[in-house]
Structure 1
Amino acid sequence: MTVDGQLPLILTIRTAKTGWFCRWWNRQTNLQVLAWELQAEQNGPIVAVKVNNKIENLQYLPQQDCTVEMVDMTSETGIRVYARSLAFVLMRTAHELFPNDTFEIQFSLNKGFYGERLSGEPITAEMVDRMRERMWDIVRACEPIECQVLPLEEAKLRLEEHQREDQVAILRYRQREPVYLYRCGDYVEFSDEVLVPHTGLITTYQLEHHDAGFLLRFPDQHDPYRVPKNLEQKKLGYIFRESDRWTKIVGVSNVLELNSHVEAGKTGELIRLAEALHEKRIAQIADIIAEEPERSRVILIAGPSSSGKTSFAQRLKIQLRVNGFKPVTISMDDYFHPRRLSPKDEAGNYDFESLYAVDLALFNEQLSQLIEGQEVEVPHYNFHSGEREYVGRKLRIGLEQPIIVEGIHGLNEELTSHIDRNCKFKIYVSALVELNLDLMNYIKTTDVRLLRRMIRDQQYRSRRAEETLAMWPSVRRGEERWIFPYQEEADVMFNSALLYEPAVLGAYATPLLEEIDSSNEVYGDAQRLLTLLDYFRPMDDWEVPPTSILREFIGGSAFYRS
């Protein structure tokens, strides 16, 4: 059997509902046709395909037998594709309506993107209204988003023709090929994230006027057909804007400026400035606690995976000692239920990230007794046996001894429901990245945390990069359920990201990622992270101090040991 003189291909296909099956495929037909046919077999809108474990645009034309998986919006990858496509259409709209202005997507906020004008002039509500109306016209018209796969030098020439100097500049640092160039109307840009093939696939979103800019919100993977309820994130937004102001003061607000510092041999100064900012902020938090010690009998430190909670807690203890306090630390892990009583997830595995893996009754009872001045014997959890043990560690504290509790549930009031809120001081720690590649491509905070964890897992837990990547979606689901809904409950937030860290992490992460070949299911994620790291000029880590939060992950920490 031939089609136009060519033998058809054999596609080995996986869908969410049917699983794996094989079928013949015409070489001249792109995979968007397959997506239309199989949409009913998925749990959400299909936005991309995974071909031989690499994410590809729906316009992809297979030329040899391959495996094909549908990527829909119930996956983190699918949401990334959708969000990036939506941002692309927004920027095309802004470029069309306001050709003399330059807009910039700055950071992620409230299940969306926050952006402003590069000039610093506020974006008005009227401007956002015009953008919303025109953007909806573009979406309803199902305008094509054409994808071209080009060699690096040719991509730079095309971008120069369209006066995309910001993108040409960052591509000068890139080595990896090819480059994916996208065009919609007269608007052109490159994207390392796959985009959808036409605007009609991005109908679910909200565009709002927010502060001095705009907020573009989109669905999450739990409900891909609806934009989630707008939960105001004033504290988180403030931290992002504070970080943005500081990066401008230092003169490193994007990867280009960081690379310039590296090339000019100014890395030592940059490291010292970034670390000094951390130390100053931690000292300020300790001062706030010292002003009202009765409000800080229990200090709860929470944050997502690899946010640097351990090092932060140790550095906070030092600053509290400077203020005359003698803090004690209690591990939430020691209050786990015996393993046989632990809750299980939907797959039947023990769910140690669940709040209910903690013996809440015992935890609250002992905290209350300590606050009242009683002596308690705190338990120790034996992870080998899965049992709670008592090994003679007895505690009694005074007024000058705040209890520091570090763990992912610290902001959830249910964790310490028996303790008066006026006795608790809650701190949220996360690595909120402060750098963008260009006006359009911002660096995801989750990617930096993933790199941190991958390096730490390999160094301290003998876990390969592919294992960390494979378990990351489960970690993210736990964060979405148990951490992020409670962010705004924090009394203060601490941004543990360091301006220079991607340039240091690259030397550790790149060889780990390069070991993952195309036969592995996480190959696409590995390639995406390798492309991200390719933009950074490498920075030597010898000037990173042993007290740095970064040392918790790359090794050499004064606090963190295997």
Structure 2
Amino acid sequence: MQDNNRVKISFAQNLEIEDKFYYKGITPLQVIEKEKISSDTIIVAAKINNELKNLKTSIFEDCKLSFVDLSSPEGVRIYSYSLSFVLVRAVKELYDNAKIVIKHSLSNGLYGEIYSRFLLTAHDAEKISERMKKIIEQDSEFEIINIRKTGAIRIFKRNNQLDKVRLLEFLSDDNITIYKNDIYYDYYNELLVPSTGYLKKFELRYYPPGVILRYPDFRTPGEIPPFVNQVHLFNIFNEYERWGQILNIDSVSAINEKVRDFKITEMIRVAEALHEKKIVYIADKIEGLKKRIKLILISGPSASGKTTFAKRLSIHLKVNGMHPVSISLDDYFVDRDKTPLDENGEHNFEDLHAIDIELVNQNLIDLFAGKEVEIPKFSFTKGKREKKGQYLKISPDQVILIEGIHGLNDELTSEIDRENKFKIYVSALTHLNIDDHNRIATNDNRIIRRIVRDSQFRAHSTLDTIRRWESVRKGEEKYVFPFQEEVDVMFNSVLVYELGVLRRYAIPLLKEIDNSVSEYSEAQRLIRLLSYFKDIPEEEIPRNSIIREFISGSGFNY
């Protein structure tokens, strides 16, 4: 007979602990201490029935328990948000009436800017870093406060945190969770660690006009990854911020206000016009170099809208008299039995050597020499190239356009001189934030796009899309991101309004994932993110919009 004062906890297989009974109200933190559970890195949270929970959450029912550490993206996310709160507190303690805004990811960290009466200096960054270390040494608790929305709004109004007030006014939930550390209150879209003492590993780097907060990565959980100066990426984020100023959009709340005030149509039109203006600029830049440019290479991570961008760029190149010809790298795959294998023995189609590099280069050389070339045709059902290809010959005023994951890697087109290439990096680089301290990650924007597209056009379940996402990101880290700073131009494909459109497609799909699988916590997190947006109707979205690649209704064939 089971003791009503006890709960049965089943542990994740990797813990190698048999099911046990504990007194009701025990917390995951107490279980860690009782069972002497250790990890190669810091344990920052728990999953109770696959739902992400703070380590101090009391357990009152039988459940399955697992732990989250810095070897997972979830763990790093929790660590980074907790560290952000420490940064915010340090700035408030050092500078009266200062405001800090966490803007976007950069150089393996988070870039933020501090607004005060004085211009931030390298010395200020050192002072803030030292104050953060003192706060961490204090090991002060991140107190969890469950409160009615009206009460939270009163607190944030009193503390002049008006970005929180604007956000919460649109939130449908009446009961919310806020955090308190020392005398400072904040609202976060993610869990935080139990106390500041968990956050010993960090670096605050001066990066004018702001700072970069750096911390361990899930690929290197025991150390802070090397600093990579991403100048091109920083500039494209700044460009998008200027677009936000043109649209008068600085946060999710500003978009929701446009929806409420029936001003969303104009915002959509201006956002789309900004995209069109940038594509025209790129086409004109290529046209200005047409005496030497023979090959246009387009690449970027998954769900960046590369295909629609390439089609729109082709139109403007034709306007400029350049008559581009597209070649698909998919037709240059080696036969299946020659495809490289990954560490699990599976075919790795994202490996550069899954492509017949020698044939790519030979075909390009022959085409540029004015020869007629048979372009191969790859059969995905047979897993090999077929003999019947298409014949292609280009004229001197034509350029070749190639879009694919390896486009930026010079090894793909090693026989073509660099001066004859024009490289374009396309990605959905989100600068829109939930509020001053809660950002929307670029990866979140892309996975939501991919979830919708996979459901609409590829017959993939949302569960499968989420399960494959880390593998996709791993390929991007290896084959795309190392080359992004070597490009001639970057194009930011994100549209400021798009999550308000995607939410009506994505939320029902995400709700299909239940707590019987570990991906449940990620599905719930994405639902929570999308819940901040009001629905945006899609009727005014033009048929050539990049977002049409994901929701359907495009005027292009894919």
Question: Where do 4+ consecutive residues of structure 1 move more than 6 Å?
Answer: 37-40
1:121 and 1:361 mapped to 2: Cα distance?
57
Any conservation in 1 of the 2:334–2:385 contact (CA below 8 Å)? yes
Of the three residues 128, 140, 157, the one matched with 1:143 is 140
Flag the 1:121–1:526 CA change in 2: closer, same or farther, 3 A.
farther
- Correspondence list, 1:86-165, <5 A: 86-118=83-115, 122-165=119-162
Asked if residue 278 in structure 1 is aligned to residue 275 in structure 2, the reply is yes
Flag the 1:141–1:120 CA change in 2: closer, same or farther, 3 A.
closer
1:493 counterpart SS class: strand
Of the three residues 211, 219, 224, the one matched with 1:222 is 219
- Correspondence list, 1:538-553, <5 A: 538-553=535-550
Name the % identity.
42
1:391 counterpart SS class: strand
| Residue 130 of structure 1, CA deviation | 0.9
Residue aligning to 1:235: 232
| Residue 94 of structure 1, CA deviation | 0.9
Asked if residue 74 in structure 1 is aligned to residue 74 in structure 2, the reply is no
Any conservation in 2 of the 1:552–1:560 contact (CA below 8 Å)? no
1:491 and 1:390 mapped to 2: Cα distance?
36
2:449 and 2:549 mapped to 1: Cα distance?
9
Which amino acid in 2 is paired with 1:338? D
Asked if residue 534 in structure 1 is aligned to residue 517 in structure 2, the reply is no
2:25 and 2:369 mapped to 1: Cα distance?
76
- Correspondence list, 1:30-41, <5 A: 30-36=27-33
Of the three residues 486, 493, 497, the one matched with 1:496 is 493
| Residue 210 of structure 1, CA deviation | 0.5
2:411 counterpart SS class: helix
Of the three residues 180, 190, 193, the one matched with 1:196 is 193
| Residue 530 of structure 1, CA deviation | 1.2
Which amino acid in 2 is paired with 1:12? S
Which amino acid in 1 is paired with 2:41? G
| Residue 178 of structure 1, CA deviation | 4.6
Residue aligning to 1:554: 551
Flag the 1:39–1:483 CA change in 2: closer, same or farther, 3 A.
farther
- Correspondence list, 1:332-411, <5 A: 332-411=329-408
Which amino acid in 2 is paired with 1:297? K
1:394 counterpart SS class: strand
Aligned length: 558
Asked if residue 10 in structure 1 is aligned to residue 8 in structure 2, the reply is yes
1:416 counterpart SS class: coil
Residue aligning to 1:482: 479
Q: CA RMSD in A?
A: 2.0
| Residue 498 of structure 1, CA deviation | 0.6
* TM-score normalised by L of structure 1: 0.95
| Residue 224 of structure 1, CA deviation | 0.9
Any conservation in 2 of the 1:364–1:419 contact (CA below 8 Å)? yes
Residue aligning to 2:446: 449
Which amino acid in 1 is paired with 2:262? G
Flag the 1:385–1:256 CA change in 2: closer, same or farther, 3 A.
same
Any conservation in 2 of the 1:456–1:552 contact (CA below 8 Å)? yes
Flag the 1:44–1:556 CA change in 2: closer, same or farther, 3 A.
same
Any conservation in 1 of the 2:243–2:274 contact (CA below 8 Å)? no
| Residue 150 of structure 1, CA deviation | 3.5
1:352 counterpart SS class: coil
Which amino acid in 1 is paired with 2:510? L
| Residue 152 of structure 1, CA deviation | 3.5
Flag the 1:20–1:323 CA change in 2: closer, same or farther, 3 A.
farther
| Residue 294 of structure 1, CA deviation | 4.1
The C-alpha deviation readout for 1:508-551, integer Å capped at 9, x for no partner, is 11221222222232211111111111111111000000000000
- Correspondence list, 1:404-483, <5 A: 404-483=401-480
* TM-score normalised by L of structure 2: 0.96
1:117 counterpart SS class: strand
Any conservation in 2 of the 1:116–1:122 contact (CA below 8 Å)? no
Which amino acid in 1 is paired with 2:5? L
| Residue 464 of structure 1, CA deviation | 1.9
Any conservation in 1 of the 2:32–2:38 contact (CA below 8 Å)? no
2:225 and 2:396 mapped to 1: Cα distance?
43
Flag the 1:344–1:21 CA change in 2: closer, same or farther, 3 A.
farther
2:292 and 2:12 mapped to 1: Cα distance?
55
Residue aligning to 1:167: 164
Any conservation in 2 of the 1:35–1:70 contact (CA below 8 Å)? no
The C-alpha deviation readout for 1:21-47, integer Å capped at 9, x for no partner, is 422333233212334567865443211
| Residue 161 of structure 1, CA deviation | 4.5
1:415 counterpart SS class: coil
The C-alpha deviation readout for 1:446-484, integer Å capped at 9, x for no partner, is 111111111111110112222211211211121122111
Flag the 1:392–1:472 CA change in 2: closer, same or farther, 3 A.
closer
1:375 and 1:482 mapped to 2: Cα distance?
31
Which amino acid in 2 is paired with 1:336? F
Flag the 1:493–1:393 CA change in 2: closer, same or farther, 3 A.
same
Which amino acid in 2 is paired with 1:7? N
